[in-house]
Structure 1
Amino acid sequence: MDEPINSRNIIYIVATPIGNLEDITLRALNILRNVDFIICEDTRVTKILLDHYNIHKKLIVANAFNEANQINKIITEIKSGKSCALVSDAGTPLISDPGTKLINEAIKNNISIIPVPGPSALIAALSISGFPSSSFVFEGFLPQKKGRQKKLMELAEEERTIVLYESTYRIVKLLEEIKQYMPLRKIAVARELTKKFEEVWRGTADEILDSIKTKTVKGEFVVVLAPKDFK
């Protein structure tokens, strides 16, 4: 049964697939079909999903570069009696993605915010890592320059499972740093989760580097590090 859409003062935080377009809930599709507009990071990316399911909606771009400038426009639209969905390029919005400023402004304006849960690269990678997940640390993307070494030194002493995100361009650098600061730590590196070329490497950073350096690897990476004393 379709979920009734409250058309007044509401933002749905809608999780979308991280790769495989079939990984979307029926509830999410129903909401995307019935809201007045969709807030996205990149229209080209979001349209791939919408076109696949024959959904045609007004799209408003709010990303890391223009979110601050778009907030008033979006809040005004919602307060005029409209509903909207916030999506990211992939996965659950606001997890290492923009949107926090918008949501806080919506809270100030008494706009209802409803989560529509679904895919998350963080949880997907953690679930297949083989490492304890009852308590873990999610650091997202490490600082690129200032504070990076300090953060790595802190993580080297972390006794819980650690989850990091990394890009194609910096994955080798990250693994080399883990090799330096946490040489014996067991890790799992997942690439392109749920997609055609999904891969998972397991071992120490040194062992995984040998595999990754011998081939051209592209896509988004999730790196899961076992607790400090994990055997």
Structure 2
Amino acid sequence: MKVLVPVKRVIDYNVKVRVKADGSGVDLANVKMSMNPFDEIAVEEAIRLKEAGKADEIVAVSIGVKQAQETLRTALAMGADRAILVEAADDVSTDIEPLAVAKILKGIVDEEQPGLVLCGKQAIDNDMNATGQMLAALLGWAQGTFASEVDVDGEAAVVTREVDGGLQTIKVKLPAVLTVDLRLNEPRYASLPNIMKAKKKPLDTKTPADYGVDVAPRLEVLKTSEPEARKAGVIVGSVDELVAKLKDEAGVL
């Protein structure tokens, strides 16, 4: 079985995000970029499936700017077999919208014919949480979202999902699209020998036009602003004073 894993280049989760002075977007100048953490978990799960003999090839895909090659090389160093980069933007500040990404991924799936697509449940830069679901709808495939446990058994996959009320276990027929959550696994670090080997692994470059997809944005960002600063806490001397502050100042009672 072939496993397809889309990965996205985002601001590293350890970096404090800064908004541009004119409010036109997030400042990406001299900012460390890395693979979206949820996508990293998806790559790790694909590798574990291959190690267990349930997958025979892992293909990593990224859609965005040319610099996303670095993200794909990370996936290759972790254990992916080959990679596909779809250069859909020239400006690093351009974010390809989920529907366009899903349409491009559908084109890649039609070409590659994987038995499973493993996606991160969302990207930490826009938090859309939509691409996997849209891809499943376009393909007409089964889907399992927010997966915290995955067990592939023959022609089906048993998926434990994290839902509002707790955990839900479902069985989906393959091929399917799964989106993974944080508790699924702990991604491995790429070793130096594997980093060197990744440089020799195949990485194909495509464009949205190869799949007949228009990536022109449908949404317009009007303004980006910093969240309101949190006020300092205060120490109260009694329960009565606490209740009074919650009622009169915070307005929560």
Q: TM-score range by the shorter chain?
A: 0.3 to 0.5
What TM-score does the superposition give when structure 2 sets the normalisation length?
0.32
| TM-score for the superposition, normalised by structure 1 | 0.35
* Larger proportion of strand: 2
Specify the structure having the higher radius of gyration (Cα): 2
